[in-house]
Structure 1
């Protein structure tokens, strides 16, 4: 699917869908409802993959919406990818690898890859035929990316990568993984960040699944790099812009993760509202009682406020206004994480005992609803960012 990208002129009013965006929203909503919550929940329980869902959204052009048309993408922007993700999630069929493959990896390579790298990676990512994972988090680094210890050492015509990563999503589905390592700067001798695109079947790369209480179709993995050798052209870009490249991927990651969280919140609120309209107590629907109506109304208000910030952040990313986009992306991520957890909790409370039953499926969402408060960046680190960069307070870490 090809649609018009958001431009700088759209930032003044990023909250109203264009006709094309409205059509895109309807398309994503329809395919999300076709598969729905039960399909994804069953895959999560059985360890199956949501391959049919991925293949269908790929065939419809939804995977590569944000990528350039000359490399097989839709020529639109992050705004459009977020619309698709939100509607899929609101139907109970959110796709985590949309966050990782086109939003993070696709954005980085489209902006900073060499022409040969764009030709090699982007068509497969855009079509959905190939999936790229992203590996930055380490056991002893956490949110402090400056403490990354995975290293890449030049050996003449390639690099040797040593180290480990943790909580890396969907490696078992991925064809490549974009690894953040530290490379010696020939000019200064200091270790500088560098990004390497690595096929997941590379010798020396070992992936171990992490057992999780959060039930998702996409598993989490630890990665171990044991003298893993990669060719020189695995280094993305020129090696001197890794920090800029990271933000080119991490800002979109936070925005589309917000869209996924907001869709999940919409799903939970919708379930609660439907139940509150039908469930009769003392001769009237329970939704007529303010004890249940007001908390749901509060959730709806907070949801809409978070959606406003998400749309603003996406528009800023699409306009290339990176400094402003970073602040908005963090705020959108914070707000969506809060309403994700609150909406699922209130939905369960609205259903009472039924909220804990398998039939309604809400209890199974409880752990996952807290995920946006933790990843891809914790709410506490976002508050640190806002305190320092938005308010000008002294740095606390």
Structure 2
């Protein structure tokens, strides 16, 4: 028994040493002293052989020469054989941009004081005015059914409005005529448009994301900026950017499009330029573009501009009417007929100054693109998802209260509430996530965060729209101008597949880039291992390796200690309140687990981790959900502290952290390697899954299922960013006005409805029955007309569009049978 106690004390001492991050010398002394004291409890600890082994280990660890020769050098040599080289394209992707708070979460010990100083961005007066006026006016002009079903394009007056009112210039600096809005203002603009028309939103968002405008603003020469940016700002020029092709989508390194530096005679003079051959597909705005951005591989076989045969991926800008460019045909994106099409070019000759940034930026196109993907991944596509949440919440809740089955509003059935609660919780999460990600973009290019935002936002959109379709049922399936769900549903694949398909984003990008970008030592260690000067590389590696070892052991010990204490010792922000404190403690605990499991994966899998995509995807899910949970807590603190806010935040946090824990479970179950991950899971979670990481329970689901149907602070907060039509003949306005009328008369309508079901009322018509209810005192006599008006609105709200046999002209029967 005393021997067991001695072993527990020694293990606890090691935990304490690593947890406190003591120096190697101090930690060695402490452990040696405790060992000798424990010998008083277990005399076998004084065995000469054990004492010699202890002394040898401590000597090796504390003697620089021995430590270097016996530990660092063998590890350096082993990793040099295990780790695959980092290619130029991969290196550029890793080094592009900056990290933000996601690096703190990945490091295992987030700096909550720094996080607490991060406040969500507020709109400037100019930005608020634009959203309240120009965006509102644009939304008034839009009819998505007409755009989709009849025109297959935006009306000419909408195109003109977008151009002249600056909708294509949100990211362009003011000195070139642009609006220079913050990422948050861009997101708010796009999501409000998207609540009215996805086609218009996509049209407006492309010039404000990856494309010529952003590339020119960030990398263009002053001559190029003066040449193009004013026209792009005014709408005189319409841009598109050709990156993807039939055989190169997300793998930009596989671009087959080719540019060759050569000499041509132009207007009687010999000019050095580029001969381009390209075939691009799926290029938004291509059919109407006047200026085309292109990504291609540049070659210089005659060494006219340098000493390399292959220069690398390059970005150039050329007028759409350049000789040899074929443009104007359209693809047909399902559910949203925005302008999208192919661009082809054969022997297109452009001068060297067509390269964005000039000749010195030749070959640097991939890094340019990576650094400019943030707007599409972090602003535009999440804005579409957030818009789906805003409208999905509003319409799903209203329709679930209006629609009745078996004498009850369908929203009161628990089966429906399970779906509607997801709509509510995900809508809340999307708004929170939008705030945090756009705030982070103000710090710079945060490629890992924007990849997380793109994947998780669009996947949440897929779930909530599917649930909305399920609840609206046949009313949402049948196409027509009354349908408020079908077109968003059909547009989901656009957001899922563009800017890096979701499968690739999850399995390769989030953890693949995140691990190397966010880990404090890993990328520098790999660089040192692959240094051509092995002596220099080893010196750098040795210094980093022992820091890395201390970092890893510290995180493992922190994960174990926080697991044993139920997160009680976890750091939290100084301003955390009673609601947020337990959640922040759990996030801190999971952060240590993430860092520990990641280091175990690096150590045991090495370069094979690249190919174990499901393993890395689960670590990426864990990382992502910790950041999402931080966003939810930050957003919760910005809203009034009431029952609705607490309930929505609790649901959102439980959903996110339960998925984080699921990712840990799946990782540990499938990792292999002699059960190391399973052992760690047992140490990190000695009593199983934390209570706060369980999925939302039935009581919470019922609460959100009721709240989504009622006026609450959350419902108002989400609607404040959307365009909500009040036109009773509009697909959205019909549901909205009917819902508002229901709120006025619901108590009396329910009383009438129950009396009618019980057979207490007489009369052959609805009016006769309502008047009889008033005569019997079941309802006030002054409510007769209001109830009749509501019932007429309710019936009209439930009708589904019907067409002639050719599905061209709407032919409705709106009169009731009785």
SS at structure 1 position matched to 2:260? strand
1:77 aligns to 2:170 (yes or no): no
Tell me which residue corresponds to 2:465.
344
Does the CA-based 8 Å contact 1:184-1:190 persist in structure 2? Answer: yes
Q: CA deviation at 1:152?
A: 1.1
Query: Could you tell me which of 115, 119, 133 is aligned with 2:222?
Result: 115
Higher relative contact order (CA 8 A, sep 6+): 1
1:66 aligns to 2:181 (yes or no): no
Tell me which residue corresponds to 2:698.
none
1:373 aligns to 2:493 (yes or no): no
1:277 aligns to 2:401 (yes or no): yes
1:250 aligns to 2:359 (yes or no): no
Deviates more, 1:8-17 or 1:249-258: 8-17
Give, in whole Å, the separation in 1 of the partners of 2:156 and 2:443: 33
SS at structure 1 position matched to 2:483? coil
SS at structure 1 position matched to 2:373? helix
1:217 aligns to 2:337 (yes or no): yes
Residues 219-246 of structure 1: CA deviation (Å, up to 9, x unaligned): 3322221111223221111324322321
Query: Could you tell me which of 204, 211, 230 is aligned with 1:98?
Result: 204
Q: CA deviation at 1:259?
A: 0.9
Deviates more, 1:286-295 or 1:11-20: 11-20
Does the CA-based 8 Å contact 1:66-1:80 persist in structure 2? Answer: no
Does the CA-based 8 Å contact 2:257-2:277 persist in structure 1? Answer: yes
SS at structure 2 position matched to 1:306? helix
SS at structure 1 position matched to 2:166? coil
Q: CA deviation at 1:20?
A: 5.4
1:228 aligns to 2:443 (yes or no): no
More helix by percentage:
2
1:204 aligns to 2:324 (yes or no): yes
C-alpha RMSD of the superposition: 2.6
Tell me which residue corresponds to 2:161.
56
Tell me which residue corresponds to 1:5.
none
Give, in whole Å, the separation in 2 of the partners of 1:293 and 1:41: 29
In structure 1, runs of 5+ residues without a counterpart are 1-7
Deviates more, 1:87-96 or 1:137-146: 87-96
Query: Could you tell me which of 270, 287, 290 is aligned with 1:172?
Result: 287
Give, in whole Å, the separation in 2 of the partners of 1:304 and 1:54: 32
Give, in whole Å, the separation in 2 of the partners of 1:163 and 1:33: 37
Deviates more, 1:365-374 or 1:115-124: 365-374
Q: Name the CA shift for 1:21/1:302 in 2 (closer, same or farther; >3 Å).
A: farther
Give, in whole Å, the separation in 1 of the partners of 2:433 and 2:307: 42
Give, in whole Å, the separation in 2 of the partners of 1:266 and 1:370: 19
Give, in whole Å, the separation in 2 of the partners of 1:300 and 1:388: 32
TM-score (norm 2): 0.44
Deviates more, 1:362-371 or 1:189-198: 362-371
Does the CA-based 8 Å contact 1:91-1:267 persist in structure 2? Answer: no
Does the CA-based 8 Å contact 2:259-2:296 persist in structure 1? Answer: yes
Residues 177-199 of structure 1: CA deviation (Å, up to 9, x unaligned): 10101112633222411111122
Tell me which residue corresponds to 2:231.
124
Tell me which residue corresponds to 1:143.
250
Does the CA-based 8 Å contact 1:65-1:75 persist in structure 2? Answer: yes
SS at structure 1 position matched to 2:610? coil
Q: CA deviation at 1:114?
A: 0.5
More strand by percentage:
1
Does the CA-based 8 Å contact 2:131-2:189 persist in structure 1? Answer: yes
Larger radius of gyration: 2
Q: CA deviation at 1:369?
A: 1.4
Tell me which residue corresponds to 2:455.
334
Tell me which residue corresponds to 2:137.
31
Does the CA-based 8 Å contact 2:455-2:505 persist in structure 1? Answer: yes
Deviates more, 1:66-75 or 1:240-249: 240-249
Q: CA deviation at 1:355?
A: 1.0
Q: Name the CA shift for 1:269/1:28 in 2 (closer, same or farther; >3 Å).
A: farther
Give, in whole Å, the separation in 2 of the partners of 1:181 and 1:375: 19
Residues 77-136 of structure 1: CA deviation (Å, up to 9, x unaligned): 222211100111122354213332132222111010000111111112222232100110
SS at structure 1 position matched to 2:275? strand
Tell me which residue corresponds to 1:4.
none
Does the CA-based 8 Å contact 1:32-1:91 persist in structure 2? Answer: no
SS at structure 1 position matched to 2:170? coil
Q: CA deviation at 1:342?
A: 1.8
Q: CA deviation at 1:210?
A: 5.3
Give, in whole Å, the separation in 1 of the partners of 2:430 and 2:419: 16
Q: Name the CA shift for 1:23/1:294 in 2 (closer, same or farther; >3 Å).
A: farther
SS at structure 1 position matched to 2:473? helix
Give, in whole Å, the separation in 1 of the partners of 2:435 and 2:455: 14
Query: Could you tell me which of 181, 185, 194 is aligned with 2:314?
Result: 194
Q: CA deviation at 1:336?
A: 1.8
Q: Name the CA shift for 1:15/1:307 in 2 (closer, same or farther; >3 Å).
A: farther
